Structure 1
Amino acid sequence: MHINTGWLRDYLSADCKESDLLDALMTVGLEIEEEHHLGQALAPIRIGFIREKKPLAGADHLFECQVEIEKGKLITIVCATAHPVEVGWGVPVAVAGTKLPSGALISEGKIKGTLSQGMICLDGEMGLIARSTGLQVFEDEATLGASLPSVAPLEESLVEVSVLPNRPDCLGMIGVAREVAAVLDMELKYPSARELNSAGAGDAVAVEIADDSLCSRYTCQVFDSVQVRKSPHWLQSRLQTAGLRAINNVVDITNFVMLEWGQPMHAFDFDSLKGNKIEVRRIKEGETLKLLDETEVDAKEQPLVIADGEKPIALAGIMGGADSQTTAESKRILLESACFDPVCIRTSSRKLKISTDSSYRFERGTDPNGMLSGAFNRAAELLQDPELAGAKPASPVTDSYPNVKQPTQFPLDAPRISKILGAEITNQQITDCLSKLEMTHDDKTISVPTWRVDVNNPVVLAEDVARLLRYDSIVMKPMVATTTKGRYSEADTLRSLIASFLTGNGFLESRTPPLTTEQTALAFSQWPGESIQVQNPISKEMTTLRQSLVGSLVEVAERNARRGASSFRFFEIDRTFRENNSENDERWMVGGVLGGPINDAAWIARESEIDFLRAKGLLENLLAHLEVEQVTYTNEEPALGYRVEEFAVISHDGERIGALGRIDLGALGIKDRARVPLYGFELDISTLLKGRGPARMFAGLARTQVIARDISILVPVDLPYLEIERSLENAFAAAVDNLEAEPRKESEGEISLQPKLENVVCIDTFVGESVGEGAKSLTIRMLFRDANHTLTSGEAQQLMDFVVKQLQSEHGAVQR
């Protein structure tokens, strides 16, 4: 939004310094994106004298002018008749290459075969409010070639501001002036306007609102004796400073009032309407509407329209219709002002891909009370101005307002404001501050005008008080409350532990988008649920919320492979999404992909590559680090993306916590650029939290020697090692209960032995003809000790014999 400070001053009760005015704009809370002090920004504009003028061949209303911009130097400028120019006039000239404060860049170009080397600038085109006729004319030849600001001092600025979405009241000059006046301790000077009940002699236009939730208020009135012509220069220049072009006086008035009040308006050619009736409704099946920009709208998207007695005549809140627009032949017009639902207008604008200044304001919310009434009465008065259109009211005002919106009231007093701001604020200060913003305040309640749509909490009012008192005037003081020590949640702590472990093992943490293709979203997921589709995807590669992190990490590995990488270790901790029983299932997961050489820094000989067992060992170490014990790995039917022969489901106490497997790129239709086996894993963090054991306690160093014993057994080849290990541990515990201690020389009485099995390791496995078909040979090393007594060889043998006997009984194991 462009703001000319000269125009802004029209609504302030007193004058002030330009620097104070610009500082006030910043204090209001508007985001200033560009600021042009026109006295400096227009320095490249030079005074040139027109030495020759003739009609441009082959073009009506265009003239070819020879303009002297410095002594003896003439350039050719093609100009239109937007403002008459005469030979001998000195005028502001922007030569090719000059950039105007509005952002327009002047460049050379041929018009009807004639090269134009610059532009004769009107005041509005330079960002200025029109002086006199809108074109500054100089007669003193001594000004030839001089910079415009040096000849005509300029005190205005052109500021481009970004209005926050929650402050639609600042999308008009009056809204901005209200805030500035409050900051500068001035009064807001409203423009003159007639009363809303000003009526004409004809019949009132009937208004029917089909759904008052989509259109809360609609006001209109017919005017006749309208003289459609070019707008005066003061009006044209104000539109030009805001980036709008002048069309005709009627359209320019509605645009001017929109910029002034922030309330969009429209003027229909009343003679083109059928029936003395207006309907605000959804477009009907079979109806079409041709807009001002020649776009045709049908019933496909069901937009809200304004219709006469027979057909749609405008796209509500967005753009008028071509058949009902005001033209030079219009004699009677219907002036309308309305308030539409922001969501409805935004939805139609996005679906139809039509965005206008009007829709921009309606999407953010307009006020059905003060802003609408003020804008309508202002436009009606300007239409009746003889200098503008000389119109006369031809009907009473029709004001359809089914449910009047009342001002919002909040309980608020000085103690609460003081507590929020941390300073002593009195009721009088609150009243003084908020009354400047046209709010009313008693000792306990504040009534907020309906144009302040952002005020949904008393804290917003506290901010208003603080900025009007000026933040820097509030005395800082120490906090009264005692500070508390922050802490991480259990989930955050677990995520931190996982990330620390994986980065310590050479993994790189990745961050990938949660949106992916439908095929990738369905791959690798080990949990039930339907995929969640995005209704309005930004691309075909981002249509579905992912159900697994592994798919995104595979894409990361493939991108790195295309750039020459040979080692892959990536992980990500983030959420996955699925739909279960019509409810969204959102889970925090840790996923990883690894592959390539075990040690890619080896230089003597090439290291072996990561295989399934090494990947499994990594996960076992991770789970041990997280104190998740008694974990099992079982082979089941994998999800899409994993190979059957190298896949395991990870469980704890019968509950699935994750999966590990070799990635099958062929099943996903992805070309294998890594050229090494890739393995993926994924763990559910919520189930890991439930499976974590108690924190490990410190134990002192053992005083006795550990006993190591190996057993070699033959077992069926299909017997899982996990079952053997569990049987061995149970057998050892039973052996301890039956252990007979041998006498010690240094001990006079009986001793109690309680050896503990510290570790079980399979150190060798063999399958071949020598062990027979259907069998395998395992060598298992057991490490155990008693904390108080060193075990004798006989006691150790008792334990081993019992364990072997139990393995023979349970699994048919044969000792070798």
Structure 2
Amino acid sequence: MKVSLKWLRDYVDINKDVKTFADMMTMSGTKSEAIEFLGEEIENVVTGKIVSIEEHPDAEKLIVTQIDIGKEELLQIVTGAKNVSVGDYVPVALHGSKLPGGIKIKNGKLRGVASNGMLCSNEELNIDSKYIDEKSKDGILLLHEVETGKDIREVLLLNDAIVEFELTANRPDCQSMMGIAYEAAATLGIKANIPVPEVKAETDADVRISVDVEDECLCPRYMLREIRDIKICPSPYWMQRRLIEYGMRPINNIVDITNYVMIEYGQPLHAFDAEKIQSGKILVRRAHEGEKLTTLDAIQRTLDTDMLLITDGKQPIGIAGVMGGFNTEIDANTKNIVIESALFDADSIRLTSRRLGLRSEASSKYEKGIDILRPNLALDRACQLIEELGYGSVCSGIVDTMKTEFVPAIIQTTFSNINGLMGTELSISDITDILQSLNFECLVEGDNIKVTVPHYRLDMAIADDIVEEVARIYGYNNIESKPIYAEVTQARKSKDRQFEDILKSLAMNNGLTEVSTYSFVSPKGLEKSNITDMKYHNFLKLLNPLGEETSVMRTSLIPEMLDVMYTNTSRKNDEFAAFEYGNTFFMSEEDKLPEEAKAMVAAAYGKAEEFFIMKARLEGILKGLGLKEYEYVPEKTNRVFHPGRCANVVADGKNIAVIGEIHPAVLENYGIKKRIYLFEIFVDEVKSVSNTEIIYSQIPKYPTVLRDIALVVDKDVYVNEIEKVIRKNGKKLLEEVKLFDIFEGAQIGSDKKSVAYSLKFRAADRTLTDEEINPVIEKILLQLEIECNANLR
């Protein structure tokens, strides 16, 4: 919001310099972003009147002018401008003057003729060409009739400062000069002088156009006033200048007044040519699907049923809250107009503006919200200006569709609550004075206070909002810092976070580097990885993705881990071992939040890498989690892994992990030319069977007894099956089973293999004897023969 300080001073007596005022506004919650000093670089430039023009004796393209600058002697200036004539008023840069850009003007000669200064164009005065008339473009800036010799900054109203405020979306009231005036008054501790519009309405007549609103939810209030005998002409220069400083281009007196009032009150207005509404009726309705309207910018737009239209009962004449129609535009032949001042639903205007790709100053104000009383104030103000400036005769009749009386919001709180949250000891009068400076009405009952909110403060809803108002006007910098008076409890991580830390630490201790990938992924990742389980295809899709590559939330960490492997192989890293621990996301039932599940994946490649090294890493992690009994179950249906080189890890009947070598087809999909070994830990399942509590025991007093056995079994017998039989029959004396050799050869048969184990026996209270151990060994061998068809070699 750009605010002219000269304009703002019409409502508030600002007795501070611009920078101090801007800083004070920032500290009270209305942040000043920048300050621009208009005309700051212009010095010694005055107004002049061209008295005579003669041709240059030695240059066809130059002319010699005599300029009256309010002194006895005329000033001779040579110029090449073609748009000047005798009697024109122009800006004159005198000897020693300064212009924007550091330009200095001195007396001199042009082709032998003395030139005592320079006539200035709009560009030389740093005035944008879009704000000047056609006659002044590509030439000298032509002024209206004015006293000669006056400072050009005063004439063009350039002796001003523009403060740009950065406003938050919850303060639509500050999108107007009135809103800023109220804030400035409260900040400076003075009263704002906001005039109440008064309309004489000397023409005693009703509005000849009726209004019907089909959807009152989208249009709670629609007002019309008629002005007859309109005179279309340029608006006064002071009004044009204020529009320019705000950033709007002057058009004509009626359009400029509607824009001026919109800036002043924050209420968009629109003027229709009354004669072009031939039906004599305005109908506010939703658009029909595919309906078309050519807007004021001469572009035909296609509408849909979510958009609100202003129509004449048959055809559209404007897009509500966004832009009027070309078919009712005010032109030089306009004699009678009706001015619309309405309240439209903010969400509807925002949606319409976005879908059409059409953002106007009106839509930017509507989409942030406007209070229900503002349409009447702005409409009266526009009619008042038309009357005062003599542009037409305002009719006394008013059309107003508002059916319910406005009831202001009332918020109740206590003074102790306000002081308690702020950490202050302000008196009741201090607090009420602050609130009243913001135009809040206060009813005090002991410690309780009822605050009646002004109609334009749509952001006020709860008691904490009142506390914020008091705090910002009192000054956050005036609130003393105080220590917290509260019991401080020791912060502890949740059990889930503790388990996560343990799992990550174990992974790093077993040679894995942690990586982190994006949660937003491409749905094609599952296809590349050959993950066929439909559970993983239940994607949570993003409503507004950046692209296909980040359009869904991940359901598995495997695709991104393989991307990490590809990246490292493509960068010529000879070996790499990594893990990721993170969330996966799944769609849930309707109206419920998505389900999040923790997952962990590790992968590795390199010259020294093989399946058993990756298996050792997994077992190191499981050992750290306190898991002692688990088994590997061959997995042949998981298409992510190489067939015959994959196994599920099962503990207590639960599938806690899967490990294997990545399938060659998957590696080809990713462009990876190395063998990749990967395991995935199912976090929730492994957590349910783990035991991270460390139990200490005494160092054994008695020695172990070692026995080695070598068994001949069929090749298709898994080592895990043999170990299960050994442990089951080793009773309490068996402390450890360790495989140390596997042999295959013609000596034992082509369909057989030899497996050798080292068995460690120990008792906690005595030294074991052969008489105690031999029966256990015999039982183990017997059960191995029965269950695994294993014979002692």
Structure 2 length-normalised TM: 0.82
Per the alignment, residue 619 of structure 1 pairs with: 618
Per-residue CA distance 1:333-376 (angstroms, 9 max, x = gap): 2212222222222222223222222222222222222x333222
Per the alignment, residue 741 of structure 1 pairs with: none
Per the alignment, residue 111 of structure 2 pairs with: none
C-alpha distance in 2, partners of 1:275/1:706? 109
Deviation at 1:504, TM superposition (A): 4.7
Deviation at 1:164, TM superposition (A): 1.2
Per the alignment, residue 499 of structure 2 pairs with: 494
Change in Cα spacing, 1:250 to 1:151, as seen in structure 2 (3 Å) is closer
Deviation at 1:481, TM superposition (A): 1.8
Residues 450-529 of structure 1 mapped to structure 2, 5 A cutoff: 450-505=455-510, 507-520=512-525, 524=531, 527=535
Residues 523-672 of structure 1 mapped to structure 2, 5 A cutoff: 524=531, 527=535, 530-582=538-590, 584-597=593-606, 607-608=607-608, 610-627=609-626, 630-636=629-635, 641-664=640-663, 666-667=665-666, 670-672=669-671
Residues 85-164 of structure 1 mapped to structure 2, 5 A cutoff: 86=90, 88=92, 119-121=123-125, 156-164=160-168
Change in Cα spacing, 1:180 to 1:86, as seen in structure 2 (3 Å) is closer
- Work out which of the residue numbers 765, 768, 772 in structure 1 matches 2:749: 772
1:717 and 2:715 matched: yes
C-alpha distance in 2, partners of 1:563/1:52? 76
Please identify, of 26-35 and 240-249, the stretch whose mean Cα deviation from structure 2 is larger. Answer: 26-35
AA in 2 matched with 1:554: L
AA in 2 matched with 1:3: V
C-alpha distance in 1, partners of 2:102/2:93? 23
How many percent identity over aligned positions? 27
Per the alignment, residue 344 of structure 1 pairs with: 348
- Paired residue secondary structure (2:205): coil
Deviation at 1:631, TM superposition (A): 4.5
Per-residue CA distance 1:447-503 (angstroms, 9 max, x = gap): 223433333331121111112222233344332222222221222222333333444
Per the alignment, residue 32 of structure 1 pairs with: 32
Per the alignment, residue 397 of structure 2 pairs with: 396
Give unmatched runs, 5+ long, in structure 1: 56-62, 99-115, 128-132, 598-606, 737-754
- Paired residue secondary structure (1:343): helix
Change in Cα spacing, 1:15 to 1:88, as seen in structure 2 (3 Å) is closer
Deviation at 1:530, TM superposition (A): 1.8
* 1:575–1:586 CA contact under 8 A, matched in 2: no
Per the alignment, residue 294 of structure 2 pairs with: 290
AA in 2 matched with 1:9: R
Change in Cα spacing, 1:214 to 1:150, as seen in structure 2 (3 Å) is closer
* 1:574–1:590 CA contact under 8 A, matched in 2: yes
* 1:547–1:577 CA contact under 8 A, matched in 2: yes
AA in 1 matched with 2:538: E
Per-residue CA distance 1:361-414 (angstroms, 9 max, x = gap): 222222222x33322222222233325xx2223472222224556333222011
Deviation at 1:37, TM superposition (A): 4.6
Please identify, of 165-174 and 420-429, the stretch whose mean Cα deviation from structure 2 is larger. Answer: 420-429
Per the alignment, residue 383 of structure 1 pairs with: 386
AA in 1 matched with 2:615: K
- Paired residue secondary structure (1:364): coil
Deviation at 1:26, TM superposition (A): 0.4
Per-residue CA distance 1:699-726 (angstroms, 9 max, x = gap): 3333333343332223343334333333
- Work out which of the residue numbers 452, 458, 462 in structure 2 matches 1:447: 452
* 1:491–1:685 CA contact under 8 A, matched in 2: no
Per the alignment, residue 786 of structure 1 pairs with: 763
- Paired residue secondary structure (1:704): coil
Residues 706-785 of structure 1 mapped to structure 2, 5 A cutoff: 706-733=704-731, 736=732, 755=733, 757=735, 759-785=736-762
1:799 and 2:791 matched: no
C-alpha distance in 2, partners of 1:53/1:614? 100
* 2:536–2:555 CA contact under 8 A, matched in 1: no
Change in Cα spacing, 1:682 to 1:671, as seen in structure 2 (3 Å) is closer
Structure 1 length-normalised TM: 0.80
C-alpha distance in 1, partners of 2:63/2:493? 75
* 2:521–2:553 CA contact under 8 A, matched in 1: yes
Per the alignment, residue 692 of structure 1 pairs with: 690
Per the alignment, residue 740 of structure 1 pairs with: none
Deviation at 1:232, TM superposition (A): 1.6
Deviation at 1:440, TM superposition (A): 1.9
Per-residue CA distance 1:13-32 (angstroms, 9 max, x = gap): 45333343112220232343
Q: CA RMSD in A?
A: 4.2
1:433 and 2:448 matched: no
* 1:573–1:588 CA contact under 8 A, matched in 2: no
Per the alignment, residue 268 of structure 2 pairs with: 264
Deviation at 1:118, TM superposition (A): 7.8
C-alpha distance in 2, partners of 1:618/1:782? 23
Change in Cα spacing, 1:342 to 1:615, as seen in structure 2 (3 Å) is farther
AA in 2 matched with 1:428: S
C-alpha distance in 2, partners of 1:595/1:76? 79
Deviation at 1:309, TM superposition (A): 0.7
* 2:584–2:597 CA contact under 8 A, matched in 1: yes
Change in Cα spacing, 1:274 to 1:87, as seen in structure 2 (3 Å) is closer
Give unmatched runs, 5+ long, in structure 2: 54-60, 67-74, 104-119, 132-141
- Paired residue secondary structure (1:761): strand
Per the alignment, residue 175 of structure 1 pairs with: 179
1:5 and 2:5 matched: yes
Per the alignment, residue 359 of structure 1 pairs with: 363
Deviation at 1:558, TM superposition (A): 3.1
Deviation at 1:282, TM superposition (A): 1.9
* 1:368–1:405 CA contact under 8 A, matched in 2: yes
C-alpha distance in 1, partners of 2:638/2:567? 23
- Paired residue secondary structure (2:548): coil
Deviation at 1:508, TM superposition (A): 4.5
Change in Cα spacing, 1:283 to 1:787, as seen in structure 2 (3 Å) is same
Deviation at 1:237, TM superposition (A): 1.6
C-alpha distance in 2, partners of 1:493/1:94? 69
Per the alignment, residue 109 of structure 1 pairs with: none
Per the alignment, residue 676 of structure 1 pairs with: 674
Deviation at 1:310, TM superposition (A): 0.6
Per the alignment, residue 789 of structure 2 pairs with: 812
AA in 2 matched with 1:619: L
AA in 2 matched with 1:512: T
C-alpha distance in 2, partners of 1:46/1:562? 69
* 2:656–2:682 CA contact under 8 A, matched in 1: yes
- Paired residue secondary structure (1:309): coil
C-alpha distance in 2, partners of 1:576/1:474? 45
Change in Cα spacing, 1:696 to 1:399, as seen in structure 2 (3 Å) is same
Aligned residues: 742
* 1:64–1:79 CA contact under 8 A, matched in 2: no
* 1:268–1:335 CA contact under 8 A, matched in 2: yes
Change in Cα spacing, 1:96 to 1:787, as seen in structure 2 (3 Å) is same
Change in Cα spacing, 1:694 to 1:257, as seen in structure 2 (3 Å) is same
C-alpha distance in 1, partners of 2:623/2:583? 23
Per-residue CA distance 1:725-756 (angstroms, 9 max, x = gap): 333222112xx4xxxxxxxxxxxxxxxxxx35
Please identify, of 449-458 and 416-425, the stretch whose mean Cα deviation from structure 2 is larger. Answer: 449-458
C-alpha distance in 1, partners of 2:122/2:45? 12
Deviation at 1:695, TM superposition (A): 1.2
- Paired residue secondary structure (1:442): strand
AA in 2 matched with 1:86: V
C-alpha distance in 1, partners of 2:315/2:78? 57
Per the alignment, residue 323 of structure 1 pairs with: 327
* 1:632–1:651 CA contact under 8 A, matched in 2: yes
AA in 1 matched with 2:9: R
